[in-house]
A = this chain, B = another copy of it.
């Protein structure tokens, strides 16, 4: 039996993944420079090592420096995190989560339109 699911990233790991999703393949130095939350160079290195073990990123040893790239996609990760929150805090109801999200921070008009489009796609007959 092999593990089929990659573990949830921790908050710090998510920060690093976010950078990698934006930059694409990058070195420790590049990730370190791009991180909003200031943290030591070796800290970033350590995380990338840990994340490599966890299969959250993959590394290529191009010469002396290593280049890291995300294994998990942003969408997959978002899906997993939303799903987790839905189960843990909303009894599995996406509707309640959606409504909390929208009333917490309303989307822009264009975004609202896009959401509406999505709703229309989900069930044609809504009256």
Interfacial residues, chain A to chain B (CB-CB below 8 A): 11, 14, 75, 77-79, 81-83, 85-86, 88-90, 92-109, 111-116, 118-119, 122-123, 126-127
In the bound complex, do residue A105 and residue B94 qualify as a contact, i.e. CB atoms below 8 Å apart? yes
Assembled-state Cα–Cα distance A61/B119 (Å): 50
The smallest beta-carbon distance between A35 and chain B, in angstroms, is 14
Assembled-state Cα–Cα distance A93/B106 (Å): 9
Assembled-state Cα–Cα distance A62/B86 (Å): 35
In the bound complex, do residue A83 and residue B105 qualify as a contact, i.e. CB atoms below 8 Å apart? yes
How many copies of this chain are found per oligomer? 2
Inter-chain contacts of A78 with B (CB < 8 A): 89-90, 96-97, 100
In the bound complex, do residue B90 and residue A115 qualify as a contact, i.e. CB atoms below 8 Å apart? no
In the bound complex, do residue A116 and residue B119 qualify as a contact, i.e. CB atoms below 8 Å apart? yes
In the bound complex, do residue A111 and residue B123 qualify as a contact, i.e. CB atoms below 8 Å apart? no
The smallest beta-carbon distance between A119 and chain B, in angstroms, is 6
In the bound complex, do residue B94 and residue A79 qualify as a contact, i.e. CB atoms below 8 Å apart? no
Assembled-state Cα–Cα distance A88/B122 (Å): 27
Given contacts A102-B122, A113-B126, contact A85 B82 (CB under 8 A): yes
